[in-house]
Chain A
């Protein structure tokens, strides 16, 4: 039987997969009973508050905590001198928990207080006097790239780095923390063969994740030296590792428990207030809650890296791109931002996964500045390079008077092609997503424009590809109980993506039981097995596979035991709704009957093994990129690629630059929609978050300080003015995905910005080269275009 036939046969038999099963978490959330990280509290806990730097760059001369220490109700005050003198960071150990001798951005933590009430803690923090000697600072990334720039980390060469992300020290560019290079073909000869050269510079701004629940951690120092942390993190094991690194405690002695999370979008892969909470708990010997304010989330967690992208293309008359040279500069801010270093590498995957360009060069450089740290953000570097590339594709089409879709199709990577980093492309259904969006966008129809007045209509398109990173791993454990429930132990936080429901569907599918039989434990590193976290659109695939294997393992054990009990060969047995029944026979036994009860009937056990435990783990190994050529050491650098097409229709006011977004179509090939309603939700939400970054979101720095670190001044999309997003789901199965599924979380955010900018060009002829596409920039572009026409 062919794989396709097998697939089809399975599909018809699927009981829960592909069904829009009601989300398992939503009722608890809609009654207000669900406990999020911010809601969590312990009896007699203290409240912590952090003292932060008002300077973008300064030497700390003196910290006077005396007044704070003696304030009634204060239980602990800490500065860098009270905590281990260690630097932490997922990929580069450059970040102090509290600044010791120097602050590098406005909002950096300098000291902290734990007190009986939040009010007292706030007062105490105000009483801490810090003397600073301000230093020259730099927030402009291209200035920071210069040899003569202010140096942010004089000790950079001594910092430790994780093996896959070596620091690339460059004496001529002291603020460069990381540099990746890709060289494929011969770019110079490519340009010499070109009929046209198109080059542009694009930029993106600092966008903040703005997860609706502000970050919060509760920590308790246990009497035996262990530490327990409650944090709605995207990656409990990553938090555990960071705390272990900082405090030099063995990981097994740190327990991270994750309540529901009110959104993360990448920011909460990194520690926020957890280390300070732990240090305060250790010092005060009481549980401590450190809840950040919205302002602190804006200034002192992470932002999406602002990029400067230089792109130069050599193009043949027929539209073939024969050479492409890209230089990408990431404003990394003051620190590595947890995963910041890998954003610098992973943006490569965004640049090499859509088009087949024979001669290709790519440099990505992450630069330290005195801005808030850049870190992981949904889209993870792809969004920023896609912004440049998909604008550039339209620029080429316009310059050569070619069809915008044709030029994309002409240059597409196909199955079997080698991309610029040496990966052999699998079948990525770019054609499918393009077709489906074009059906809606109707570029062939005559333009529907206004006869008079300032408003102009336009349509825009973008084709993007989101990778899912590797190597990563996910493990799952299921415990089948005698009352016909199954507890699923996974370390995947329900951050909102619907993952608990997906896992429940998968486990119920494999055990052929109702979804309601499944209880998802919630992450607790003491009990739930390893998982790399909610990042890179990976969990449906990785954890989905692990859950499936764990459930299959449990099913197998059930069948083995039933086979012995019923004296029927396993192959003649099937499990259905907690009953094992003989195929074409009459024998049956309930799963509960496999268990024995003790004399008090207080519980049940399984003879021989006690518990009925099923285990599963999914791990994929891939190659690494050669630091000199950027070539992958094997034919695979990522887990899979997901194609996304985005189409938009807009109206632009030529007098004010204001834009109305009328329609958005987003098609994504998800392999298999395990829960179609959840998939639609992810697409709609991803697009609208992208819309925010595209049109209005920017954390603005003035004199090195964020000036709009609040929701009155930092604007995000609202119910009014946000168009209905039409989500289009395609299902070409991913060979190794659970039931063919791929992840969907990030793809939808990648194409919206360039689609909008292209639509503005379509409407007005004017192009904006940096997001957000504010009315001011749009109007400036329109005026510039008018001048050029004259």
Chain B
């Protein structure tokens, strides 16, 4: 069951009692601490998810918190190829950054930022935290996956670049290796003729996603679908791309019927039960949210031609 956990405690060691809290001044220092301390150290970015998990006694024995907020990773930069977001950029900073508002084709990102609430969380929660917390209920990852975002990770052995898609392995588990930290999220600048949308089903205006969906489409000159990226969150332990849906969309005219047919496959995906809803319900609405998100992304793509 997908849940942030329950938690009447029985385990004595589960109380959150780190012994040290450090602010490395540079990325190198941070990596060195993380490498030497291993499992005992844990990165803290905004801290909102960490405190949430700590209260639920879901943080394993952590001795040292390594705060990355003072190593200069709070930035949004753009070049002709990509938008580069420093991992410690808060969601508010990202929302208010002019580059984000002005870049065409990244509607999924701006949508997802507007779905994330409340402001008290957005003011401290970071882009890196949204990704590395590895919860399938967050809103930023499906949007970024749809936009084909890459991650630049740095660690004791240098830096590596990986797709965000596949980085989150399972519930609360991501492919962040020993001593490694997320430096930057790179969003390739969408091509002309592409459009993206993110939508969410939630119980109240401040809720983890019951289901969420990020879609990016690229149209060719005839307005046929050249490529499609459809990512569903809230279904399983990690946000996942729906390749069957994507394949069904490619090369079609994206008529309502094409989209409905493709979206049907969203309901074939396995779903976990969560506090919000049963797996059966999620299955029955997955195709709806997928369809609506694709329809909206198509409209945006047409506008971007």
Contacts and interface: CB of A to CB of B under 8 A. Distances in A.
Interface of A: 52-54, 106-107, 122-123, 126-127, 295, 299, 655-658, 696, 700, 702, 705-710, 712-713, 715-721, 774-776, 779-780
Residue of A299, A712, A720 most packed against chain B (CB within 10 A) = A712
A715 B281 CA distance: 18
A534 to B, nearest CB: 28
Given A122-B15, A126-B12, A779-B281, A718 B204 contact: yes
Chain B binding surface, main DSSP class: loop
A126 B288 contact: no
B208 interface: yes
Contacts of A713: 3-4, 275
26 contacts: A53-B8, A54-B9, A107-B8, A126-B12, A299-B8, A655-B288, A656-B201, A657-B285, A702-B1, A705-B6, A707-B3, A707-B6, A708-B275, A712-B208, A715-B203, A715-B204, A716-B204, A720-B117, A720-B204, A721-B204, A774-B277, A775-B281, A775-B285, A776-B277, A776-B278, A780-B281
Interface in B56-107: 56
B92 to A, nearest CB: 18
Given A656-B288, A708-B275, A718 B7 contact: no
Nearest to B11: A126
Contact of A779 (B1, B9, B12, B285): B285
Contacts of B3: 707-708, 713
Interface in B1-45: 1, 3-4, 6-10, 12-13, 15
B8 A705 contact: yes
Given A702-B1, A707-B6, A712-B52, A776 B205 contact: no
B284 interface: yes
A77 to B, nearest CB: 15
A734 B278 CA distance: 49
B21 to A, nearest CB: 16
B209 to A, nearest CB: 12
Contacts of B208: 712
B46 to A, nearest CB: 16
Contacts, number: 83
Contacts of B170: none
Interface of B: 1, 3-4, 6-10, 12-13, 15, 52, 55-56, 117, 201, 203-208, 275, 277-278, 281, 284-285, 288-289
Nearest to A695: B203
A787 to B, nearest CB: 14
A779 B7 contact: no
Contacts of A702: 1, 6
A295 B278 CA distance: 23
A712 B4 contact: yes
Nearest to A719: B205
A54 B10 contact: yes
B116 to A, nearest CB: 13
Contacts of B7: 295, 709
Given A707-B3, A779-B281, A126 B9 contact: yes
Given A721-B204, A774-B277, A779-B285, A52 B8 contact: yes
Contacts of A706: 6
B293 to A, nearest CB: 13
Contacts of B277: 774-776
Contact of B204 (A106, A696, A709, A710): A696
B157 to A, nearest CB: 37
Residue of B6, B10, B56, B281 most packed against chain A (CB within 10 A) = B6
A780 B6 CA distance: 27
Contacts of B55: 295, 710
A139 to B, nearest CB: 15
A149 B181 CA distance: 55
Contacts of A712: 4, 52, 208
A299 B6 CA distance: 11
A123 B177 CA distance: 32
A212 to B, nearest CB: 15
A478 to B, nearest CB: 44
Contacts of A705: 6, 8
A53 B201 CA distance: 35
A119 to B, nearest CB: 8
B294 to A, nearest CB: 15
A127 B9 CA distance: 12
Contacts of A710: 4, 55-56
A165 B285 CA distance: 48
A149 B9 CA distance: 28
Contacts of A54: 8-10
B14 to A, nearest CB: 8
Given A106-B8, A707-B3, A709-B7, A656 B15 contact: no
Contacts of B205: 718-721
Closest CB pairs A-B (n = 10): A720-B205, A126-B12, A776-B281, A713-B275, A54-B10, A715-B204, A707-B6, A655-B288, A715-B203, A656-B285
